[in-house]
Structure 1
């Protein structure tokens, strides 16, 4: 029985378990999902510090035209806390601790000397613009107090989040382990892309596509290989793979040499059957007795690409602990008309601009039209009950980049 895209997707996501937690260095955490809240060990900033290059002063002494004697120099990183008396100032650099006696910072440009910096501080300055009390002082804990959540559990870690974690006082953090994924392309017709095909042979590209797509989704690739249409060879290969998920392309339909289905059908919870979509109709999915998830995809390149985006990528992101697992979707006006497969949802590689969408190639949505993948920016997602998209229709589009 043919099932819908939503039904197949729901079955996949119901089987997904989030990967275990491991502790990694910040340098290895980019793109991973934080497993626990990171609580700041310190207030941020750690101490009152200057927000400008200038002079630390008592605001009451720093009226416009006042002449102040410079009695100290406080660079960034200094532990100095000079005593500032009446009519005195200390030169201070951005980020340096503000002397305890000071309650304002005058920027360099608000003095008679301007922004000229000398090795030694000047002996005196004349104030040209009076500072307000507290001016240009970044207060202790002004960003966040000690004990505050710096980055929340479930956050996908990028450069900004990692910087916040470092500021909170950590070099290692708990994250969900990247899903360990094996990619296997099946087919006796497949040869190395650099080879010269004989009659009936084709360059193998599916493993290249799937490996790159899985890596982009944050997976740790443990195996990327091809295997002929040989049940014993495929079984032997699978026996030696330690992975959370195995992605296979080819051999998932009803042909006489569909080796993936022959080896895996009814193993554990793995089942094969048609999904109401085009391309990508032949699909298989389930877990084996060891708990490995198997994604059994068709063999034609566009079918592989569409199947990965529709089913595999969301599952890998969910395994990694992400809550946002879908590509963004937008709506555009069809710039031309095209036919749709009767009774099946259509996923068509397309080009789009700010207002319109059109097929990426003139060949339509055939599963063999690999050229469309090189130029496509998105997939048009057309409901199964649509027989034709007419120029001017509003089309839902899954944006791929």
Structure 2
């Protein structure tokens, strides 16, 4: 669903959420608002240890989506031995040069372990697909070109040497690199690793991340709602974004606005994770449990000059970095995309997300001072904004495919102006 208009689209205005996000301003005990780039640099420094990953040994059966830490070469040839490409008869090509010809059937070879059989002149051996080709045979006659009668088979079509035979190593030879270091393993890679007999592989370890959502108003999806309650979408949303970008989500917790409750869950999360991400409780309301607790543990909170997602916090608890995002669903997602996604992907060994420039399909207006990160959809005539800038408009995020990045000093952009878009 898109929103078009003949006049400029306003991208700013009142956007006060339940936690007072728009009212979050610097005070004497808080840092001066930072730019997006400054906070990105701050987070990267905080998560520096996370970006250097050791390797894990995992079974090939469980390696889907993992990143090899080195090139992986085949230990064997494929095929492992000469085998038949067809159900039919193994013959000497010279014996079927003139057809029709009747040959004595000297035996049968099925796929699997078998005794050694030699194809003598004037004989054929019945063979199944994948079975080892018997000695002295150099061609396979498909069964549809034959008629079996007792101990003999009549061949109706001649076959040249090599026809329908898979030679050893014709697919890959031992020592050939099958997958490269840094490559994301897909089902086709799993297939070849299993085919050459590899049971385990060294891969980049995944960063272990725990998620904590906060708010007395939150309940699980599917639960009955009392007045003032909402479904907790941030927990499942952050977990999905983390998994999609290579993280191992070790826990998803939810805390009330009671400090003791949050503190208990926080220390539980840090005992399991290398990184904790929280949502909610970081602005200027009366029940900002994340800020209240983390501030006593050395946490820093302030406002980044962007909308949505201005209020941000960071801390280190028991040696584990904590990133604290605002609680409105869109603010939470935008915060993850801007500040956490790149580091998570890098730590997991995944390639960076490519940002590109796309023309606006319509004009927009903005205000100076805050970088706008608006939901948009790229179409044939450019990028179109989806709905408004409100940080509560979750459906608009689902309909969008990019964030439209409007610089903080921009007041108005005409249709056709190139803007930076960030894939969702």
Instruction: State the alpha-carbon separation in 2 of the partners of residues 89 and 187 from structure 1.
Output: 78
Structure 1 partner of 2:55: 21
- Do structure 1's residue 158 and structure 2's residue 158 form an aligned pair? no
Specify every segment of 5 or more residues in structure 2 that has no aligned partner in the other structure, as ranges: 1-31
Structure 1 partner of 2:225: 196
Are the structure 2 counterparts of residues 397 and 24 from structure 1 closer, same or farther at C-alpha, using a change threshold of 3 Å? same
Q: Which has the higher contact order (CA 8 A, sep 6+)?
A: 2
> What's the CA shift for 1:303?
1.0
Which of 136, 141, 144 is the aligned partner of 1:106? Answer: 141
User: Deviation digits for residues 32-89 of structure 1, max 9, x if unmatched?
Assistant: 2233443433222111122233332323333252525143322222424421123433
Q: Is the 8 A contact 1:18 1:176 kept in 2?
A: no
Structure 2 partner of 1:238: 266
3-state SS of 2:324 partner: strand
TM, length-normalised to structure 1? 0.82
- Do structure 1's residue 261 and structure 2's residue 320 form an aligned pair? no
Are the structure 2 counterparts of residues 309 and 53 from structure 1 closer, same or farther at C-alpha, using a change threshold of 3 Å? farther
Instruction: State the alpha-carbon separation in 2 of the partners of residues 312 and 276 from structure 1.
Output: 17
Q: Is the 8 A contact 2:294 2:315 kept in 1?
A: no
- Do structure 1's residue 172 and structure 2's residue 191 form an aligned pair? no
Deviates more, 1:349-358 or 1:367-376: 349-358
Which of 373, 386, 397 is the aligned partner of 1:360? Answer: 386
Q: How does 1:116-155 map to 2 (within 5 A)?
A: 123-131=152-160, 133-155=161-183
Q: Is the 8 A contact 1:64 1:130 kept in 2?
A: no
Are the structure 2 counterparts of residues 154 and 206 from structure 1 closer, same or farther at C-alpha, using a change threshold of 3 Å? same
Which of 91, 106, 125 is the aligned partner of 2:126? Answer: 91
Instruction: State the alpha-carbon separation in 2 of the partners of residues 81 and 387 from structure 1.
Output: 83
Which of 231, 251, 266 is the aligned partner of 1:223? Answer: 251
- Do structure 1's residue 339 and structure 2's residue 370 form an aligned pair? no
Q: How does 1:195-344 map to 2 (within 5 A)?
A: 195-198=224-227, 201-241=229-269, 242=271, 243-255=273-285, 257-265=287-295, 267=297, 271-285=300-314, 287-288=316-317, 290-320=318-348, 322-326=349-353, 328-329=354-355, 332-344=358-370
Which of 337, 349, 355 is the aligned partner of 2:375? Answer: 349
3-state SS of 2:249 partner: strand
Deviates more, 1:11-20 or 1:94-103: 11-20
Structure 1 partner of 2:18: none
Instruction: State the alpha-carbon separation in 2 of the partners of residues 381 and 60 from structure 1.
Output: 73
In the alignment of these two chains, the number of paired residues is 386
Structure 2 partner of 1:5: 36
Question: CA RMSD, aligned part only?
Answer: 3.1
Are the structure 2 counterparts of residues 217 and 323 from structure 1 closer, same or farther at C-alpha, using a change threshold of 3 Å? closer
TM, length-normalised to structure 2? 0.78
- Do structure 1's residue 376 and structure 2's residue 400 form an aligned pair? yes
Instruction: State the alpha-carbon separation in 2 of the partners of residues 167 and 253 from structure 1.
Output: 55
> What's the CA shift for 1:163?
1.7
- Do structure 1's residue 62 and structure 2's residue 96 form an aligned pair? yes
Deviates more, 1:248-257 or 1:97-106: 248-257
3-state SS of 1:34 partner: coil
